[in-house]
Chain A
Amino acid sequence: MTVPRVGEVNARARPIAPARRWWRAPPSDAMIRVASVLAVLGIWELFGPLLNPIILRPPSQIVRAFADLIANGELGVAMVQSMRVFGAGLAIALAAGITLGIVSGRSRVIYNVLDPWISALYSVPSVALVPLIAVAFQYSGDAPRVATVVLFAIFPILINTQQGVRNVDPSLLEVARAFNTSERRLWGDVIVPAAMPFILAGIRLAIGRALIGMIIAEFLVGLAGLGYLIIVYQNTFRIDKMFVPVIVVAAFGIALMGLVQFVESRVAPWTRREQ
């Protein structure tokens, strides 16, 4: 056996140097981020009270508003309503988007059947279609809101999956053929893993759009959930309370995207090289 010579070994394969003690190390990216957020919050807290409370309230009051809305149950009720719609909508969008994406990425006929609709629906501002959806579902129950979330979320997933399947490196397809692959193994070994980073990127985009769709549906299809809270407290000039559902939605989006990124690092570790 021979050992690869030094020149051949990529730096990434070597163990990293032991971490320096944190107080001597230059500030990490995370520390700078936290410091940036804290600085803005601090300035906001200091100078916020100078503005009329109708316009802006300091963070401490928003924290209090958070406690109020949790204590009186309003936030819980709204979140349950919203998450039900968001969860169902995103789940449907994922299932349908990935399925349609794979099918249309593989079959030229299905691609040509779907493509004009996908292009058209994706380029139309989805907001304009919400009233039509509401009418189609007769404004009854969660259905029109779930459908709105699906409309907002499905296209990034579908298009990314489709592109992922269509853009598999042809040289890898040839490698698979050279080793006598079966069609089933071709999907498992090459096509699905190759499309996976595209699909996950699509899911990340879809989460953001699904949250927007959820709030818009709650604004337009009969007020409900977190969207209802936003409207109510906006219209009663309670900016502190209005910020609560806004922050909840933002935090939820950030958390979910982080989760997807975590899943990505587990499911598709090779994509880290691009970061």
Chain B
Amino acid sequence: MRHQLALGVILATILGACAGGGGTTAPTASPAGSPTATVATKATCQPTSLKIAVPVTPPNVVHLPPYVAQELGYFKDENLTVELVRFEGGVGALRSMAAGGVNMAGTSTEPVISAIAQGVAVKIVNTYSPNISQVFAVRDTIKTPADLKGKKIGIQEPGGFADALSHAYLQKNGISASDVQFVTTTTAARVQQLVSGGTDTAILHVDQVLTVKKTAPNIAVLANMWEVLTDYQYAVYAVPTAEAKSATTECMLRAVIRANRAMYDPTLRSRILDMAVRETKADRDVVEAAYKTLESGKAWPQNEGIPQKNIEGTVKSLLDLKQIDRTISFADAVDLTLSNKIVAQLGKKDWPY
């Protein structure tokens, strides 16, 4: 009930902001190439100051691409002066975009789908991480999925991300939800709970587990969730629908797509790692190990980044959890015009997304 109320307030806020301020997010940049131009025509932007919301603070390794775009000067290449505005959670990031406070939001996918279902005019245009990049962390007395029976599954809220992922994992391994006990914790306390035995499991990022293991060696990874839940979109970049084909957005997207590709570029690796240690505030060995895992798990996209099956899977999951009350088509939610155009400009990579 409380969550529904909070969601209602949030969505009302977004709706109000969009209805009242549709025009306020119009870019000051004047496009040199029109959005309807041919694929090869590359938009250039006048010098412009922009803000991009980032949803996780400090970032984990998987969230780094926007920081990489900043660090490697990809925004500068597009004449853009970008400020990364930090948020704690995708809802805040998305809301600030809807209010006109930022030009593009990096966010988890669920709030974007919910907002679209409420009629908010936003579009998914790209991502820094299409698939779930978290792992299922457990106390090391749990060696196999069967050991989970009777254990305390740590979730943040019923119907939330950790709950959905935990259910998916249990279901895939044939364990009934009635065989385990779900324990709610706060996001901030989930690791403390796991370490102190308040819970037996937690959904964590790779680097979080590696950091925790340093002081709590009895924590282990039971499964990589991207191998468990395949048809699910983890994160997206979203912009106001009115901006989905604008020159400014094209310039921003070109920078972040180049950053996504840079994650796999061995020549840039040491620079990115230095920055990663600084930004994530994790130890260097943790960052390096997490980077390797994510690289081999293809965590970052190199092309347009939004597989249709992922979006459809997320929509279905939200429908099942009754967080949205109507289905959202891929076309309703996503506009890949610019991403496809940029990928064509830069050359398509042999990469699934």
Interface residues of B in 159-195 (CB under 8 A from A): 188, 191-192, 195
Task: Give the chain A neighbours of B85 by CB distance below 8 A.
Answer: 139, 222
Known A54-B215, A140-B101, A236-B211: A135·B95 in contact at CB below 8 Å: yes
- Distance between Cα atoms of A140 and B96 in the complex (Å): 9
What is the chain A residue whose CB lies nearest that of B21?
A: A138
B31 in the interface (beta carbon within 8 A): no
B155 in the interface (beta carbon within 8 A): no
User: Are B58 and A236 in touch, CB under 8 angstroms?
Assistant: yes
User: Are B215 and A53 in touch, CB under 8 angstroms?
Assistant: yes
| Range for the number of chain A residues in contact with chain B | 20 to 34
User: Are A134 and B101 in touch, CB under 8 angstroms?
Assistant: yes
Task: Give the chain A neighbours of B24 by CB distance below 8 A.
Answer: 138
| Range for the number of chain B residues in contact with chain A | 35 or more
Known A55-B195, A128-B9, A139-B96: A223·B87 in contact at CB below 8 Å: yes
Of B92, B95, B98, B211, the residue contacting A237 (CB under 8 A) is B211
User: Are A228 and B215 in touch, CB under 8 angstroms?
Assistant: no
Task: Give the chain B neighbours of A219 by CB distance below 8 A.
Answer: 88
B17 in the interface (beta carbon within 8 A): yes
Chain B contact surface mostly:
helix
Of A135, A224, A238, the residue contacting B281 (CB under 8 A) is A238
| Interface mask (B3-30 → A, CB under 8 Å = 1, otherwise 0) | 0001001100100110001001000000
B343 in the interface (beta carbon within 8 A): no
Interface residues of A in 220-238 (CB under 8 A from B): 220-224, 228, 231-238
Nearest Cβ on chain B to A122's Cβ, whole angstroms: 18
Of A220, A234, A236, the residue contacting B280 (CB under 8 A) is A236
- Distance between Cα atoms of A135 and B25 in the complex (Å): 13
B39 in the interface (beta carbon within 8 A): no
Of B95, B191, B282, the residue contacting A134 (CB under 8 A) is B95
A28 in the interface (beta carbon within 8 A): no
User: Are A222 and B86 in touch, CB under 8 angstroms?
Assistant: yes
| Interface mask (B44-71 → A, CB under 8 Å = 1, otherwise 0) | 0000000001001110000000000000
Nearest Cβ on chain A to B198's Cβ, whole angstroms: 10
What is the chain A residue whose CB lies nearest that of B53?
A: A222
User: Are A52 and B216 in touch, CB under 8 angstroms?
Assistant: yes
User: Are A138 and B215 in touch, CB under 8 angstroms?
Assistant: no
User: Are A54 and B191 in touch, CB under 8 angstroms?
Assistant: yes
A173 in the interface (beta carbon within 8 A): no
Task: Give the chain B neighbours of A52 by CB distance below 8 A.
Answer: 195-196, 215-216
A131 in the interface (beta carbon within 8 A): yes
User: Are B96 and A235 in touch, CB under 8 angstroms?
Assistant: no
A132 in the interface (beta carbon within 8 A): yes
Of B95, B192, B195, B215, the residue contacting A131 (CB under 8 A) is B95
- Distance between Cα atoms of A138 and B96 in the complex (Å): 7
User: Are B96 and A134 in touch, CB under 8 angstroms?
Assistant: yes
- Shortest Cβ-Cβ A-B pairs, 5 listed: A139-B101, A135-B99, A223-B86, A139-B96, A236-B281
